Structure 1
Amino acid sequence: MVRIDVMADRIHRLGRRELLSGLGAAVLTPATAGIAIAQARPSLKLQARAGAVALRPGGPDTPMWSLQGPAPDPGLRFGRGEAPEIALLNELPIPMVLNWHGIDGVASAEPLAARAPLAAGGAESVVIPLRHAGTFMCDFRLLGDAQARPSRPRPLIVAESEAAAVDRDEVFLVEDWRLRADGTALAPGVDPGDTTPLYTVNGLTSLDITARPYQRIRFRFINGCQRNVIAVKIEGHDVRVMALDSQPAEPFLARGGALVLAPGGRVDAFVDITASPGAASSILLHDGKEARPIARLVVSNEPPVRAVPLPAAPPLPSNGLPAQLDLKNALRFDVKFGGPQADWVTPSNFASAAAPAFRARTGRTVVLALTNRAAIASVFHLHGHHFRLLDRLDDGWKPFWLDTLAIESGETQRIAFSAEYSGRWLIETMAADWAAPRLVRWYSVE
């Protein structure tokens, strides 16, 4: 077992002196004054279907399942305030349900609690109001454990109304795979045995990102791994964190240019290219066992974009989450996971008729004490709302919002959120191990 902080420290020894040990915890699209997005799209058609990905140089493509849409860009792109109608066709041989990571307050789209799994061959549509700008993720992995094939997520990019001070916008989607000897890929939730682990970025086993001197790039880092907590480090560059889990943060430098992301976690970061023309910097990934290069940031010999680097960027525009939380009068609940799982069920056995983990009135502040009883780190994901990670003394909170958190074995972390949206919402947990099952409960805001 490798602790999350130790994993980060191993990257530390490979390069710069320190790195960010934050948890949040990706496709080359040019941007001018902001992100170029399509104008109002009344609908978007997605098909859950069989596909393939090239994971073995010189070998046949590996079969998998994915969400396929009309555009080659794996990032679905909209603007804040739009409300696209998503039409979904299930061409898989199994039932599936869409899971929208980071989309708050859309009760009609809540998987399992509001929307039943879509049967094989079925079709449905749902309107998704995009109240917040940021980096999101959509997948159908809730029912993916022990299936015939693993599935891939799709990034969802919602642009701010105001132009961001960047030259380019890069999605950086990290995925993990377990390959059998015959080259087929194993789904999570089962013992990986002697399969070979492999990582991709944007579906590629290697990637060079070319940039011009003094260019500013917005990286949208997404941990699309099935279970793994990962650390990602850009050698030789300052990485300024601008948002975590779809919500703007007060900008801060990632120490050592490194980030730690829980599965499903997202980090938006600005990187200014100040290295000399021809320089190539490794982008390293640490998965708790070893560090490996997964991409390179290469400075081209083209003329600089400007004469001098841009000044420090201001914070991204607020999405309107509350500035303060009333901790004194908060409702408080204990939520335990790992160990005996009497209150948690696999998604295939979910029934909203079961007792909720907790109930809250609309507008109340809720504080959850999250205790991980498992022998290894576990991941907690809250649907419907974003939360603040509280300080150890419960007298304040970290200056960012999250929807996903990794918690070490035996530890308790406290989080707080404003129960703004009424409805039935899921909470998810899983141990950071390929064979661990994904488990769910639900909570009610009335």
Structure 2
Amino acid sequence: MPQDDFAPEAAPASAADSPGRPSRRSLLGGAALLGLMPGAAAAQGSKPDSAPAGPQPEARPQPEARPLPAEAAKVRLRPEPAPETQVWCLDGKGVPPALRVKLGETVRLKVENRTERPLSLHWHGVRNQNPMDGVGGVTQPPIQPGASFTYVFTPPDAGTFLIRPLVVGGSSEPSGRGIAGFLVVEEKAPPAVERDLPLLMQDWRLQDDASLLPFGQTLFAASNGRLGNMIAINGRPVPEVIAERPGSRLRLRLGNACNARATRIRFDGVKVYVAAVDGQPTDTFEPLRATLPFPPGTRYDLLLDMPGEAGAKGSVTALVGGGLVLANLVAEGEPVTEKPPPIAPIGDNKLLPAEVKLQNAVRRDITITGGATLDKEKPDAEPVFKGDPARIWAVNGANGMAGVAPLFSVKRGQVVVLAIKNDTAFPQALHLHGHAFRLLHPLDDGWEPYWLDTFQLLEGRTARIAFLADNPGRWLLSSTVLERFDTGLWTSFEVT
């Protein structure tokens, strides 16, 4: 994936809150539950300064926003003689961009919609200013074909974040046509590695002639979503080949931008350490059984050392069918001369609280219903749905639609605990906007030792999440399976 670095002007970082670092624990156990005018607002978590008295200096002109066109392109997803596939892309390239900034820098991007559908871009995982969250129909008007919108924000956290299209009633098509990318916010003192490599997983639903299957199938939206029949990494058919010197240290940024595909990722031939989950740093740990859950919207930062012998190989495999290799790691060339230091945590995010105090938390119950039904006596039978194709899913009995009032409102600084019940026949991948949360233990108010913004909730299960509502605005709790989002699987809350 090309790394489209850009260096906007520096902006002050947010004020720090309580420090804290999660303790080492197994990731697998908890996660398996599983028009507005843009302006340079302060980063989330910071407080506006009072206006000084006396004459004010003349405001400096703001740097011009970098254009980020969304437009049609052709890419080769099947070998010749099959034709190329008509897709949509960002930045005039047929592969997803990886936009990079340093922590404290301001993102200024003018999204030009050259497609034939309304569009907006959600900066998935960024604890953003609310007008910049990129939910068309909620936080901004959708960008109409031929129009543009300028996103201006200063990410408060370093980390790995996704760029996903998110428009009420119209997200699946731009995603399924290829609109996706990474936003990488680099630490001020990143760990020393030989290479820092983004690996973005997408899948495509192709017909025999390599064209995309038409969009809008009700049964997809009511069941498992639009599962592709061809998986790509960084916009290219798998496997990606990563060749590095024996003994060199790598940082892999792994993200799932699929419309619907949830899988598990296994690592073979190399020992990997998780350094961040959903963009937030954690104590480094080895994944249990060398596998990680990987629903849409999830990101991992991984540290690993290449094998020490030339010719040795490792792989990153998605547990799809009998296993699909996403990337091959090959040790090539002269070995590194100096052994890297022991792998260690990449740092703390001091903007997140050391603990989430639950004693006086605002507690709300959330129940997800709807979708197709399954015949338990006929496991091979197709799911059945006979309802309104535009209102397939509901949260607390209400379909997510533009104009629907928030489910609840809280004052800024309150702790919120949501008990989320999946009363459907399918696992649900869910994303909390504007905040990071802790996944609570099933039987008490202990929590898993990492921050999340996305998780998967199995059918028939209930999970509780806790977060500090410190970011003003109207925020979504939404499905990351975009066909479900388009047909009602989201709700919102307000922080005042």
Paired position in structure 1 for 2:362: 331
Q: Of Structure 1 and Structure 2, which has the larger fraction of its residues in strand?
A: 1
* 1:85 equivalent among 95, 108, 114: 108
1:163 is displaced (CA, Å) by 2.8
Matched, 1:94 2:117: yes
The structural deviation recorded for 1:74 is 1.8
Task: Give the structure 1 partner of residue 402 of structure 2.
Answer: 350
Specify the SS of the correspondent of 2:394. Answer: coil
| TM-score normalized by the length of structure 1 | 0.84
Q: Distance in 2 between matches of 1:395 and 1:213?
A: 45
Does 2:440 align with 1:390?
yes
What are the superposed Cα offsets for residues 93-124 of structure 1, whole Å, 9 maximum, x if unpaired? 11111111011141111323220101110012
CA gap 1:260/1:144 in 2 versus in 1, 3 angstroms: same
Partner of 1:375: 425
**Is it true that 1:76 corresponds to 2:126 in the alignment?**
no
Residues 30-429 of structure 1 aligned to structure 2 (within 5 Å): 43-58=65-80, 59-68=82-91, 74-110=97-133, 111=135, 112-142=137-167, 143-145=170-172, 150-186=177-213, 190=217, 191=219, 197-205=229-237, 206-287=239-320, 289-300=321-332, 302-339=333-370, 341=394, 343-345=397-399, 349-351=401-403, 354-429=404-479
Residue identity in the other structure for 1:304: P
Please tell me whether the aligned partners of residues 132 and 319 of structure 1 are also in contact (alpha carbons under 8 angstroms).
no
The alpha-carbon distance between structure 1 residues 279 and 188, as it changes in their structure 2 partners (threshold 3 A), is: farther
- The Cα shift of 1:147 comes to 6.9
Alignment partners' CA distance in 1, 2:398 and 2:212: 28
Residues 144/196 of structure 1: CA separation in 2 closer, same or farther (3 Å cut): closer
- TM-superposed CA distance for 1:154, in Å, is 0.8
Distance in structure 1 (CA, Å) of the matches to 2:189 and 2:430 = 32
Q: Quick check: 2:89–2:95 contact (8 Å CA) kept in 1? A: no
Residue 406 of structure 1: how far off its partner (Å): 0.5
CA distance in 2 between partners of 1:81 and 1:105 (Å): 13
SS at match of 2:274: strand
Distance 2:457 2:329 in 1: 31
Q: Which amino acid aligns with 2:230?
A: L
2-structure distance, mates of 1:412, 1:402: 17
After TM superposition, what 4+ stretches of structure 1 lie above 4 angstroms from structure 2?
18-22, 69-73, 146-149, 191-196, 430-438
Distance 1:237 1:20, change over 3 A: farther
1:384, 1:370 → 2: CA distance? 18
1:231 deviates by 1.3
Give the Å deviation of 1:174.
Answer: 0.7
Secondary structure of 2:289 counterpart: helix
Amino acid at match of 1:313: A
Shift of 1:43: 2.8
- Please report the TM-score for the alignment, with normalisation by the length of structure 2: 0.76
Letter in 1 for 2:189: E
CA distance in 2 between counterparts of 1:404 and 1:439 reads 15
Task: Render the CA deviation track for 1:251-271: whole Å, top value 9, x for unaligned.
Answer: 111133322111011000101
Deviations, residues 272-308 of structure 1 (Å, cap 9, x unaligned) = 1134210122321124x442222211111x2212343
Within 1, Cα distance between the matches of 2:226 and 2:362? Answer: 47
- Give the conservation status (yes or no) of the 8 Å contact 1:95–1:118: yes
Task: Provide the secondary structure at the position in 1 that maps to 2:491.
Answer: strand
Q: Read off the aligned partner of 2:161 and give its amino acid letter.
A: F
Contact conserved, 2:203 with 2:228, CA < 8 A, in 1?
no
Counting aligned pairs with the same residue, the percent is 33
Q: Deviations over 1:372-429 (max 9, x none)?
A: 1111111111111110111112321111111111000000010000000111112212
The CA distance in 2 between the partners of 1:41 and 1:212, in whole Å, is 40
Aligned to 1:7: none
Gaps of at least 5 residues in structure 2 are: 1-25, 35-61, 371-392
Q: Is the 8 A contact 1:214 1:310 kept in 2?
A: no
SS in 1 for 2:131: helix
Report SS of the residue matched to 1:108: helix
Do the aligned partners of 1:165 and 1:313 also contact (CA within 8 Å) in 2? no
SS at match of 2:120: coil
C-alpha displacement at 1:83, in angstroms?
1.2
What is the CA–CA distance in structure 1 between the aligned matches of 2:271 and 2:432, rounded to whole Å?
Answer: 31
Amino acid across the alignment from 1:90: N
Q: 1:148 to 1:216 in 2, by over 3 A?
A: closer
C-alpha distance 216-41 of structure 1, shift in aligned 2 (>3 A): farther
The number of residue pairs the alignment matches comes to 409
> 1:63–1:149: 8 Å Cα contact kept in structure 2?
no
Letter in 1 for 2:493: Y
Deviations 1:333-382 (A, max 9, x none): 01111326264435xx422xx22122111000000001111111111111
Distance 1:161 1:445 in 2: 30
Aligned residue identity for 1:299:
A
Q: Which structure is larger by alpha-carbon Rg, 1 or 2?
A: 2
Secondary structure, aligned partner of 1:93: coil
CA distances 1:201-222 after superposition (whole Å, capped 9, x unpaired): 1111131111111111000000
